[in-house]
Amino acid sequence: MGESTATTNHHTTTTTTTTTTTTTAAKCLMFQSMCHPIFAPKLSMMMAARREPVRTVWTASAHIITAVIGSGVLSLAWAIAQLGWIAGPTVMLLFSFVIYYTSTLLADCYRSGDPLFGKRNYTYMDAVRSNLGGSKVKFCGTIQYLNLFGVAIGYTIAASISMMAIKRSNCFHASGEKDPCHMSSNPYMIAFGITQILFSQIPDFDQIWWLSIVAAVMSFTYSSIGLGLGIAKVAATGTFKGSLTGISIGTVTETQKIWRSFQALGDIAFAYSFSIILIEIQDTIKSPPSEAKTMKKATLISTVVTTAFYMLCGCMGYAAFGDLAPGNLLTGFGFYNPFWLLDIANAAIVIHLVGAYQVYCQPLFAFVEKHAAARWPESGFITKEISIRIPCLQQPYNLNMFRLVWRSVFVVLTTVISMLLPFFNDVVGILGAFGFWPLTVYFPVEMYIAQKRIARWSTRWICLQMLSFACLAISIAAAAGSVAGVVLDLKVYRPFKTSY
């Protein structure tokens, strides 16, 4: 990301109208390339050091791994349960290969022109703009911002499920394991929404230096606990559940099995879509050797490690639960003892998602505020900053009425939609399907073709287009399966009345 962006985001100014316009514009540029829930909260430290090319192949690999492993891992056991012991791991390996290959194409697009001395592209959007330009830049931006909106909904659902799991677990044990403790998720979604309304008003909340450290620790905490509990459950029963072909007909209908298999593709895609962060990480790699060469090695290492961890979590979860593998792995253990360990895992998810929600929404906030200020520069409601002194803060808080109203309305909207459609697995599948093809496959392929000037209808061009088309078909199938899951859930769901 450009030097002007980093500078703008860290300087202090006293001019009211100029402050609003400049800050929002800079933040919009800074975050325009972020669009995946797994890595978003861990990028702030990387951005702070974006002009310090000090990473090696090992530190770059570590950064990718910590950025990728997150809430997407929770649905992998369910995904493998739909596909079975043969297709499940096979599909996961195929996704890992596609991700690795398209990431190597993307690595070659870090510099425009000469691969060693050409112009640097500091963000994913910069690379799209340099190599493709025109309407494709707008298409990329539209996909990213729509994905940010969807992620906010998904995070609200996931956080409420974890908060409710903690409450139910404690209620169950407090009652001597006699009360099933049924409850609604709505109060927890509302509580999460209120928290986000407050945090949304904190300037540069998404750039707090320790946010990325907390996110990394939390994601590894709940992922490791989920894996450990799966292994413990298999060891306790002494059997590996599941079948070669996945969930059996009878447990679900033939039609449901088809749709759920498609949805599983979206869930796996959601966990694997990390190509979008690679340009930013590549910008921190020292050279020689060339950034592209180092990045390709780092991507290979991180893909192998991530796939191994995902395989363990997904396969052990399926082995533990079989056809009954839950959409969220941690909820499948129910009131498992020691219940405090599950409470820690669920608390880690909530902490992770509170910060991640803001890191994802701040770019969207900045985008809208920037355009509003440009369109109505004379409006005091939009541009005026009201300085308010708060005793516990060293500097006065600048209140902007448009920011207060717009951000609050946004959080309320995402909360209401989450309450209307509280289907974690379906939402994850839709997000994975929506972002996988365009951001992970289409743009890297098209940029590589433009960068290398590959001739139309040449063998290499045809092979790349076949890969892109195949991944588009997978995304469409995954989206169809996820939407079918929503439709099926709506047949038995009563809005605002769901009880767990």
List the domain boundaries for the chain: 3-492
* Residue pair 363/44 in contact by the 8 Å Cβ criterion: no
What is the model's pTM? 0.80
Q: Three-state DSSP class for 120?
A: strand
* Angstrom distance (rounded) from CA 318 to CA 326: 9
Q: Does domain 3-492 have CATH number 1.20.1740?
A: yes
Could you give the CA distance from residue 287 to residue 252 in angstroms, rounded to a whole number?
A: 54
Query: Which residues, at least 6 apart from 336, have a Cβ–Cβ distance to it below 8 Å?
Result: 229, 233, 342
Of 213, 219, 303, 290, which Cα lies nearest the Cα of 38?
219
d(CA 494, CA 107): 47
Q: How far apart are CA 276 and CA 36, in angstroms?
A: 8
Cβ proximity of 342 and 362 under 8 Å = no
- d(Cα 426, Cα 492) in Å, to the nearest integer? 15
Q: How far is CA 393 from the centre of its chain?
A: 32
Which class for 378: exposed (0-12), middle (13-18), buried (19 or more C-beta within 10 A)? exposed
Helix (H, G, I), strand (E, B) or coil at 249: strand
Per-residue pLDDT of the chain (500 residues; tens, 9 = 90+): 343 443 434 444 444 444 444 444 444 444 444 334 334 444 444 444 444 566 678 888 887 887 777 778 889 999 999 999 999 999 999 999 999 999 999 999 998 877 777 888 888 888 999 999 889 999 998 888 888 888 889 889 989 989 998 888 888 777 766 666 778 889 999 999 999 999 898 877 656 667 777 877 888 899 899 999 899 989 988 889 989 999 988 888 999 999 999 999 999 998 887 777 788 888 888 877 888 899 999 999 999 999 999 999 999 999 999 998 988 888 777 666 678 888 999 999 999 888 888 877 887 888 888 889 999 988 888 888 888 888 877 778 888 899 999 999 999 999 999 998 888 888 889 989 998 999 999 999 999 999 999 999 999 999 999 999 999 999 999 999 999 998 888 887 777 665 55
The DSSP line for 320-373 is: HHGGG--SSGGGGGTTPSSHHHHHHHHHHHHHHHHHHHHHHHHHHHHHHHHHHH
